[in-house]
C-alpha cells in the first residue's frame, strides 16, 4: 500500500510528528470562526500567518526518526479515532497566546501513549493536552476568545493518522473502522 500523500507544507520543523487532520468541512468551520471572531490586529505577527490553515490534532510532536515505518507498524489498522470538541481555550507564553479548541478523546490519548512509550522523541510536554489550534494571537489577547462554546460537543471521527516528517513530507497511515474500535476496546 502506498501511504504517500503530498501536501504543500514548508519543512521548517526540527522533528517529525503525528496528527489527525480535520475534514475539509470541519476545518472550514473552525477557520471561518477564527476569521469572523479574531481581528487581524490581534494576530501575533500582524498578518494571517498566525492563523491555522490546516486544522488538526497533534498526537505526538518531537519524533526523532524521520522515517514513518515504526509509527506505521504501531498504528496502521488500529480502529478509527473518535474525538469530541470542547470549549475554546488558550495556551499562554511570552511570545503569543494560542487560541485553541480543547479536545476530549480517550482514543487519541491511547495513541499518544503508545507512541510516547515506543517511539524515540524529544518533548517538553509530558502531559498530553489534545487541541485544535485556531490562531496565534498577541500575548494577553487570547483571553478575549477563551470560553466560547461554539464547537462544544462537536463529534469527530478520524480514519487516518498523518506522519509528518520535519521536511513537510506527509505519510497517511490508514486506520480501521469505528466498529473495529468497539470490538478492540472490549
Number of neighbouring beta carbons within 10 Å of residue 41:
9
Residues of the chain scoring pLDDT < 70: 1-12, 46-49, 178-186
3-class DSSP state of 131: strand
pLDDT for 177: 78
Positive or negative, the Cα torsion across 35, 41, 44, 49? Answer: positive
Q: Which domains does the chain have, with CATH numbers?
A: 16-185 (3.90.1140.10)
pLDDT for 93: 86
Which residues touch 110 (CB under 8 Å, ≥6 apart)? none
The 10s digit of each residue's pLDDT in 132-179 is: 999 999 999 999 999 999 999 999 999 999 999 999 999 999 998 766
pLDDT for 126: 86
pLDDT for 94: 87
What are 35's three cell numbers? 476569521
pTM, full prediction = 0.87
pLDDT for 179: 63
Amino acid at each position: 500500500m502506498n501511504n504517500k500523500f503530498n501536501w504543500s507544507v514548508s519543512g521548517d520543523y526540527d522533528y517529525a510528528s503525528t496528527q489527525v487532520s480535520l475534514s475539509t468541512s470541519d476545518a472550514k468551520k473552525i477557520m471561518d470562526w477564527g476569521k469572523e471572531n479574531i481581528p487581524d490586529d490581534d494576530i501575533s505577527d500582524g498578518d494571517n500567518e498566525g492563523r491555522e490553515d490546516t486544522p488538526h490534532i497533534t498526537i505526538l510532536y518531537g519524533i526523532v526518526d524521520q522515517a514513518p515505518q515504526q509509527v506505521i507498524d504501531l498504528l496502521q489498522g488500529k480502529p478509527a479515532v473518535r474525538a469530541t470538541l470542547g470549549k475554546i481555550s488558550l495556551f499562554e507564553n511570552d511570545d503569543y497566546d494560542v487560541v485553541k479548541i480543547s479536545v476530549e478523546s480517550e482514543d487519541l490519548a491511547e495513541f499518544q501513549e503508545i507512541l510516547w512509550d515506543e517511539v524515540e522523541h524529544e518533548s517538553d510536554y509530558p502531559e498530553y493536552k489534545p487541541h485544535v489550534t485556531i490562531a496565534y494571537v498577541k500575548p494577553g489577547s487570547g483571553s478575549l476568545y477563551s470560553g466560547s462554546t461554539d464547537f462544544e460537543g462537536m463529534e469527530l471521527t478520524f480514519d487516518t493518522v498523518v506522519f509528518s516528517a520535519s521536511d513537510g513530507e506527509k505519510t497517511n497511515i490508514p486506520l480501521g473502522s469505528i466498529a473495529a474500535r468497539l470490538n478492540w476496546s472490549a
